[in-house]
Structure 1
Amino acid sequence: MLIGYARVSTEDQTPLPQSEALKAAGCVEIHEEQASGGNRSRPVLARALERIGKGDTLVVVRIDRLARSLSHLLEVIERLEAKGAFFRSLMDPIDTASAQGKFTLQVLGAAAELERALIRERTRAGLASARSKGRVGGNPGLRARDPAALRKVRLARQDGYMQRLADTAQEWVPHVRRLRPDMAWEDILRIINAPLPHDRRWTQSRLIRAVNAYVRDGFLPVTVLGRAARRATDDRLPTIVAAIKGADPDITLQAICDRLEAMRERTPRGRTRWQPSSVRMLLQRAERLGLLQPAEPPVTGAT
């Protein structure tokens, strides 16, 4: 399904031309919004992103109708990819469902990283030059505690933080979206961290801060912040195994054993080493509890 998004900046403008173009492109739903492009907290865009499901495509007339910064554009596309959805701009060569569109997106991502590197290099060179001439480097507005300068720095830091979150979104967003609030933060954290190298693992406070930021900007529903329901003690292991299997339906029993050992999860008998037979038993229990869809029976030829 094609879902359109049209945005204008002021009340004097009309989204009608955009909506007509989106309708002509085949969009069955069109979400119209009046908001500044620099404002990431857009309720209509948030609802449109939440509405999109697997296989759907978010369509805009031009990229600037969706985002004014490359980091915000990539952030939205990361969320769509996490849901198995796509992005298309009618007047720009971006369609993430096509090979060419994906290549264009990779070029944009590389350009964004190059731009950040150049800005850092120019900043360091400017500060070094100022120090060599006896001047104090930095922003005069910040030294004077000017409110406008402080606000710009705050927004820039927030933009940089959201870009860093977008770079790691595939590690944690799908788990949070699928498992919260049914599973406690502690267990979700261990599922996220199990396949990650030690220097990239998340802490609970860092994860919750990231989730709050994504909820604030509409990339995750507010329900993920709800209190987790208390589960019976004997349901905990089936829930964890079902979560691992749900994240990767093709994962093998032995790989699940390795994941549980990396999480330092003990077997039902309290042992540290897991066997595929124990995992199979827990998966069957998860199916009976309704935590996991039953496996499809193998297709056999006609006799």
Structure 2
Amino acid sequence: MRYGYARVSTDDQSLNLQLDALNAAGCADRIFTDKLSGKSRKRPGLEELLSQIGRHDTLIVWRLDRIGRNFRDLVDIADELRERGANLVSLTEGIDTSSSIGEVIYRLMIVFADFERKVIVERTNAGLAAAKARGVRLGRRPKLTSLQIRDLRALVESGKPKAEVARDYRIGRTTLYRHLSTG
């Protein structure tokens, strides 16, 4: 049997492209979907699919990154399929693990994908460190200026209710308490 799996990261995104490709690949009645990030392995559609797939079945995906974003998850899923006697086909990458060469190509792509992810993380961290060294303030902008913080402290110290001060400055009480407890 052919099982299809399609995933997008958010409810705003459409599964249509993937569903069309999976239908064309012969998965029509057995397509499982998720609208969740690929970072987590815990996805209801994927878990249900994996609970049903068995010997001589094939899991078909539009692209490998639909079943997993990280090296470990991709390897674990491929190993789980192999243990069950099932195969994996990626339509976009042209991978079919039912052949020896398909299995090798799949493993190589996983290694390169993991390498690429690590390089991106290294570049991002280097860029952040360089920006910090140049004195760039990272993170979101503060909700309040130092003058506003001084003023709200004075208001609270003068006896004005904290809930009222927070409302006047259009900040949450947590933000108010954080500014009251620092410096």
TM-score by length of 2: 0.58
**Percent same amino acid at aligned positions?**
40
Equivalent residue, structure 1, for 2:10? 10
Aligned partners of 1:52 and 1:85 also within 8 Å: yes
SS at match of 1:59: strand
Report deviation, 1:38.
Answer: 0.7
SS at match of 1:54: coil
The Cα offsets for residues 152-177 of structure 1, whole Å up to 9 and x where unpaired, read as: xxxxxxxxxxxxxxxxxxxxxxxxxx
SS at match of 2:31: strand
CA–CA distance in structure 2, aligned partners of residues 91 and 77 of structure 1? 17
Report deviation, 1:111.
Answer: 5.1
CA–CA distance in structure 2, aligned partners of residues 87 and 56 of structure 1? 9
CA–CA distance in structure 2, aligned partners of residues 112 and 32 of structure 1? 23
CA–CA distance in structure 1, aligned partners of residues 66 and 107 of structure 2? 20
Equivalent residue, structure 1, for 2:59? 58
SS at match of 2:3: strand
Aligned partners of 2:34 and 2:45 also within 8 Å: yes
The Cα offsets for residues 95-152 of structure 1, whole Å up to 9 and x where unpaired, read as: 1012321121342466589x5xx99xx9xxxxxxxxxxxxxxxxxxxxxxxxxxxxxx
CA–CA distance in structure 1, aligned partners of residues 50 and 98 of structure 2? 17
For structure 2, which runs of at least 5 residues remain unmatched after alignment?
Answer: 123-183
Equivalent residue, structure 2, for 1:293? none
SS at match of 2:13: coil
Compared with structure 1, are the counterparts of its residues 24 and 43 closer, same or farther at alpha carbon in structure 2 (3 Å cutoff)? Answer: same
CA–CA distance in structure 2, aligned partners of residues 8 and 72 of structure 1? 17
CA–CA distance in structure 2, aligned partners of residues 19 and 112 of structure 1? 24
Q: Is residue 99 from structure 1 mapped to residue 94 from structure 2 by the alignment?
A: no
Structure with greater Cα Rg: 2
The alignment's C-alpha RMSD in Å is 2.2
Q: Is residue 41 from structure 1 mapped to residue 42 from structure 2 by the alignment?
A: yes
CA–CA distance in structure 2, aligned partners of residues 109 and 62 of structure 1? 12
TM-score by length of 1: 0.36
The Cα offsets for residues 70-103 of structure 1, whole Å up to 9 and x where unpaired, read as: 2211110000001000001000132101232112
More strand by share: 2
The Cα offsets for residues 205-254 of structure 1, whole Å up to 9 and x where unpaired, read as: xxxxxxxxxxxxxxxxxxxxxxxxxxxxxxxxxxxxxxxxxxxxxxxxxx
| 1:20 aligned partner, one-letter code | D
Report deviation, 1:43.
Answer: 1.3
SS at match of 1:79: helix
Aligned partners of 1:71 and 1:112 also within 8 Å: no
SS at match of 2:79: helix
Aligned partners of 2:56 and 2:86 also within 8 Å: yes
CA–CA distance in structure 2, aligned partners of residues 109 and 6 of structure 1? 19
Equivalent residue, structure 2, for 1:84? 85
CA–CA distance in structure 1, aligned partners of residues 107 and 46 of structure 2? 24
Which structure is higher in RCO with an 8 Å CA cutoff and minimum separation 6? 2
What is the 5 A alignment of 1:152-191?
A: none
CA–CA distance in structure 1, aligned partners of residues 45 and 59 of structure 2? 13
Equivalent residue, structure 1, for 2:175? none
Q: Is residue 20 from structure 1 mapped to residue 20 from structure 2 by the alignment?
A: yes
CA–CA distance in structure 1, aligned partners of residues 6 and 110 of structure 2? 24
For structure 1, which runs of at least 5 residues remain unmatched after alignment?
Answer: 123-303
Q: Is residue 71 from structure 1 mapped to residue 72 from structure 2 by the alignment?
A: yes
